[in-house]
Amino acid sequence: MIVFINYLKNLGPIKIINLINMNENQITLKIDGLKVNAEEGSTILETALSNNIYIPNLCYYPDLKPWGSCRLCMVENDDGRLVTACETLVQDGMNIITENDRINRVRKLSAELLIANHEVDCLTCRKNDDCKLQEVSSYLGINREDLGSLRRQINNISMDDSNPFFDRDLKKCILCGVCVRTCNELLGVKAIDFGFRGYDTKITTFGDRSIVNSNCVSCGECVVACPVGALVPKEPVKPAREVKTVCPFCGVGCNIYLGIRGNQVINARGDAENSINKGNLCVKGRYGFKFINHPNRLTKPLIKRNNIFEEVEWDEALDYVAHKLSKIKSEKFAAISSARCTNEDNYAVQKFTRVVMGTNNVDNCARSCHAPSVAGLAKIFGSGAMSNSIDEIKDSACLFVIGTNPTASYPVIGLRIVEAVKNGAKLIVADPRNIDICKHADIVLNQIPGTDVALLMGMMKIIVDDELIDEKFIEERCENYNEFKESLKEYDLRTVKAITGVNKELIVKAARMYGSTKPASILYSLGITEHTHGTENVFALGNLALLTGNMGKPSTGVNPIRGQNNVQGACDMGCLPDVFPGYQKLEDPEAIHRFEEAYKVKLNNSNGLMFPEMLEVARIGNIKAMYIVGENPVTSEPNTENIKKSLKNLDFLIVQDIFMSETAMMADVVLPGCSFAEKDGTFTNSERRVQRVRKAIEPVGESRPDWLITCQIAQKMGAEGFEFNDASEIYNEIAEVAPIFGGINYNRINEEGIQWPCIDEKDKGTPILHTQTFKTESGKGRFIPLKYRPSAELPDKEYPLILTTGRSIYHYQTSTMTGAVEGLKTLYGEDYIDMCQEDASSIGVKDNEKVKVISRRGEIEPKVRITESCLTGVVFMTFHFSESATNILTNSALDPISKTPEFKVCAVRVEKI
């Protein structure tokens, strides 16, 4: 039975391919006399397995190129030659024999040799019951006598248990190379390879160091792929049941199965049957679930009395909150909703704010990240989200990756980029640092932080001068081209080089490559938006796509990758001060009317305050109460000291979270919400796909789903329209009030999510935006002339270095969740300052030495990491930890349009301690 189940595992992915291409390129062959159909270009092994004929194999893995090393899939062809079924392509009319004495001799030899060299402790092996060597041995009927006379030898390589999540036990390794090929072919990480020769051959890291000291990113893909017990999770227990849901760690929206035993989440695995992650996961998604059942979870409501938090019952807490809020006048209240919470949670917060509190002072953390995308793309294209889908990346002919570090921040999108390159795509990377994805790039442009407008305008001038523009597209689908073209004049190469620091030839090469390779897709994230000219950066990218006609077609577009799991959804749900759910503008009388009808109250129609404005107004005392759900601005926002001042100045602060964050510490009331694993709902990923989040376990402690808490406060305050029984009822209301979600309900997204706009039940959703017209007033894409403006704070004598910030692959935002996962802390436990050797030498500091980093706003003392990824004059820090918090340094100067702070550029000085 075990063997049979394992066969099926092998069959899975191939079956799908065969179903899709059933009628194309069909050929017929015979396997052991049995007539079978096969698809041209498939191998004998794939064909056999998909026809339910088992051929033993070890080094075969569906997603990888055939390798032919285990020699177990040997079959005899028409010429009587033994060939590997995994490598030999099917041919029409061929006769394949899979079983005879000669074949068995080779197969048994290989299997016996492997077993004679294998530590056979099956019952206590962590791979027991899921081991392909067991499967092969059982199929071939290997017995003790067969092994009797063979000399038995097992290598004495000791276990590498350095990684907090998995162990490498090379005593069990059969050298099938699946891990090496997974790491190289699929991930492009290349952390491991074959090393040494002969019997000493083993899988090794660079310099034969332990895995944790290699460039391994701990994604665990090799652990999943390993057919034997050589790569095994540290905690191998199997779940009693599994629940399919969505990973909570970034905007990619990977589908996962949470494994549950009792009321504990014990593991996670990728779901192979979806177009987003296809089974892949990163280290956080695979191993970062320990925060769910963490002992530090908030389990009871807390009220601060005499500066001390006291646990109280829910009723008391809710009454207290309702009582306090009922005294606050509308504009004196503001709410920050959570990009980590579900759409339903967010919807409840905006409804509460608008209906109960009578204000539009509601915003979410997109303000600090992609607000320039929302504003910028809306102006150019009429809609501010990813124009195309994640699954299209792999088919693009040219990828322009700018201001994003996909392998660290959105690892599964990083995989798709690597896949695209493997498929032959050209890759242009523009980033102030030599980030990991540069390894795969054809062209790398290291612009000085904050000079993107100049770089992009320079590229566009070359595209125009070289006549690489898509005239037809511009003529038919765009407007304002001539004004824009005029604005390109000042961006001659000399000027652009002087501003950006990028070599002229490279700019020309990149412009020509993007301009002449189609379809071309732009991928970007916060390196573009978190600037005082973030919206202008977005305009520049929009211009570039319009100029070359790379919009509204498959594998093209301008694609902002969203950083938080539901930041798209938080915006979609109207947790923005100027729009209702579904981006219906407050200034639109029809919209107001529609919502007043739906909510049965009179609504305030003046735009509310944006997040930084709320803090500003709070500081001068005009905001009295704030309701912060699942956010930690004290650590996440720039200029920490200023934020603390604002929050301290409030009369009443409610923080709703799953952990006692730095912000929660400042609250008057702390309400324990549920994590994603404890509630139903939906997340909307970067590509606008609304996906089901499912309750896997009962709420930890007395925590409650966030939407429920918000609704209960509303009800305590006497409001109507908050009597939802479950999350699906909320979604039904969303679909009613916001036409772009009109066709979405829980039934329809049970198997797979739907990409909005989805107008009605017949609508299958919209993978590609703007295919026919743009959503602007005129229906045309609007070119926007641009002028380069330098960043707000430039380096000078006193603060000579540019500090730019970003994420580590091991942590998520302010690490409230990932920080509760011990293994992730082991892999990356503090924010370092990365700098190049030259800068380090000029200050006289060594690797791992503590330094003082000083900006005009404050100072911190991180350790130095000397790295080749940083260029001279530019230092980099992550911002995950509150100890020595990076945002003490950063500048709160804002983009005038979107009010997004300039996290990516500030001037600092580094001093030796």
Partner 1 sequence: MNFNELFKESVEEYDSLISGVIPVILVGSATCGKSAGAQEISAAFKAELEEQNVMAEVIEVGCIGLCYLEPIVTIIKEGMPAIFYGDVTSKQAKQLVNDYIIDNNPMIESALGTFGDKQVEGIPNLFDIPVMKPQIRRILRNCGFIDPDNIKHYIAMDGYKGLNNALDLKPGEVMEKIKLSGLRGRGGAGFPTWMKWQFFVDSKEDENYLICNADEGDPGAFMNRSLLESDPHSVLEGIVIAAYAIGAKEGYIYCRAEYPLALERLKHAISEMKKLGFLGENILGSGFNFDIKIKEGAGAFVCGEETALIASIEGKRGMPRTRPPFPTTSGLWGKPTVINNVETMASVSLIMQAGHDAFVEHGTQDSKGTKTFSLVGNVKNTGLIEVPLGTTLKQVINEIGGGIINDGMFKAVQIGGPSGGCIPESYLDTKIDYDSLTMAGAIMGSGGLVVMDQNSCMVDVAHYFLEFIQNESCGKCVPCRLGTKQMLDILTDITTGKGKAGDIELLLELAGGVKDGSLCGLGQTSPNPILTTIKYFKDEYNAHINEKRCPALLCNELINYQVIDEKCKGCMLCFRSCPVGAISGSKKEVHSINIDKCIKCGTCIELCSGMYNAIERVHKY
Residues of this chain that bind partner 1 (CB under 8 A): 67-71, 74, 82, 84, 87, 102, 105-106, 109-110, 113-114, 116-117, 149-151, 153, 174-175, 177, 193-194, 196-201
Of 338, 375, 336, give the one whose Cα is nearest residue 895.
Answer: 375
Looking at this protein, which amino acid is placed at residue 848? N
**Least distance CB 117 / partner 1 (angstroms):** 6
Say how many CA atoms lie within 13 Å of 673 toward its Cβ: 32
In the three-class reduction of DSSP (H, G, I as helix; E, B as strand; rest coil), residue 512 is classed as helix
**Least distance CB 168 / partner 1 (angstroms):** 17
Residue closer to partner 1 (CB basis): 33 or 198: 198
- The structure tokens 């915006």 sit at 571
Strand order across the beta sheet in which 302-305 lies: 308-311, 302-305, 669-672, 652-657, 625-629, 333-337, 362-364
**Least distance CB 174 / partner 1 (angstroms):** 8
Termini Cα distance of the chain: 65
Q: Measure the CA–CA gap between 88 and 109, rounded to whole angstroms.
A: 21
Residue closer to partner 1 (CB basis): 111 or 690: 111
Residue closer to partner 1 (CB basis): 90 or 551: 90
Residue closer to partner 1 (CB basis): 65 or 764: 65
How many CB atoms are closer than 10 A to CB 451? 24
Residue closer to partner 1 (CB basis): 168 or 278: 168
Q: Measure the CA–CA gap between 605 and 330, rounded to whole angstroms.
A: 12
**Least distance CB 154 / partner 1 (angstroms):** 12
**Least distance CB 45 / partner 1 (angstroms):** 13
**Least distance CB 185 / partner 1 (angstroms):** 12
Residue 402 in contact with residue 431, Cβ under 8 Å? yes
**Least distance CB 59 / partner 1 (angstroms):** 9
Residue closer to partner 1 (CB basis): 200 or 597: 200
**Least distance CB 143 / partner 1 (angstroms):** 16
In the three-class reduction of DSSP (H, G, I as helix; E, B as strand; rest coil), residue 204 is classed as strand
- State the helix-helix crossing angle for 132-140 and 2-20, rounded to 10 degrees: 110
**Least distance CB 146 / partner 1 (angstroms):** 11
Residue closer to partner 1 (CB basis): 198 or 844: 198
Structure tokens that stand for 912 in this block: 């030796």
Residue closer to partner 1 (CB basis): 181 or 562: 181
Q: Taking every pair of C-alpha atoms in the chain, what is the biggest distance, in angstroms?
A: 90
Residue closer to partner 1 (CB basis): 106 or 159: 106
**Least distance CB 177 / partner 1 (angstroms):** 7
Residue closer to partner 1 (CB basis): 2 or 106: 106
Residue closer to partner 1 (CB basis): 182 or 500: 182
Q: What is the CA radius of gyration of the chain?
A: 29
- The structure tokens 């392509």 sit at 89
Structure tokens that stand for 300 in this block: 């009871």
Of 63, 17, 414, 9, give the one whose Cα is nearest residue 222.
Answer: 63
**Least distance CB 173 / partner 1 (angstroms):** 11
**Least distance CB 200 / partner 1 (angstroms):** 8
How many CB atoms are closer than 10 A to CB 590? 9
**C-alpha pair distances (Å), 831 with each of 212, 637, 763, 805, 806:** 18, 16, 46, 10, 10
**Least distance CB 138 / partner 1 (angstroms):** 18
Pairing of strands 426-430, 398-402: parallel
Long-range pairs of 197-206 with CB within 8 A, sequence gap ≥ 24:
199/155, 201/175, 202/155, 202/157, 202/170, 202/173, 202/175, 203/168, 203/170, 203/173, 203/175, 203/177, 203/179, 203/230
- State the helix-helix crossing angle for 481-488 and 452-465, rounded to 10 degrees: 110
Residue closer to partner 1 (CB basis): 115 or 437: 115
Residue 458 in contact with residue 507, Cβ under 8 Å? yes
**Least distance CB 116 / partner 1 (angstroms):** 7
Residue 173 in contact with residue 230, Cβ under 8 Å? yes
**Least distance CB 120 / partner 1 (angstroms):** 15
DSSP of 463-511: HHHTT-S-HHHHHHHEE-HHHHHHHHTT--HHHHHHHH---HHHHHHHH
Structure tokens that stand for 46 in this block: 């794939």
Residue closer to partner 1 (CB basis): 65 or 600: 65
How many CB atoms are closer than 10 A to CB 175? 19
DSSP of 563-590: SSTTHHHHHHTT-BTTEETTTEETT-HH
Residue 714 in contact with residue 350, Cβ under 8 Å? no
Residue closer to partner 1 (CB basis): 150 or 240: 150
Residue closer to partner 1 (CB basis): 73 or 737: 73
**Least distance CB 151 / partner 1 (angstroms):** 4
Where do runs of H (alpha helix) occur along 51-100? none
Residue closer to partner 1 (CB basis): 113 or 493: 113
- State the helix-helix crossing angle for 727-737 and 343-351, rounded to 10 degrees: 70
Long-range pairs of 119-122 with CB within 8 A, sequence gap ≥ 24:
119/154, 119/169, 119/171, 119/172
Q: Measure the CA–CA gap between 189 and 179, rounded to whole angstroms.
A: 11
**Least distance CB 31 / partner 1 (angstroms):** 20
Phi, psi of 491 (to 5 degrees): -95, 55
Residue closer to partner 1 (CB basis): 193 or 763: 193
Residue closer to partner 1 (CB basis): 20 or 150: 150
- The structure tokens 């601005």 sit at 633
**Least distance CB 443 / partner 1 (angstroms):** 20
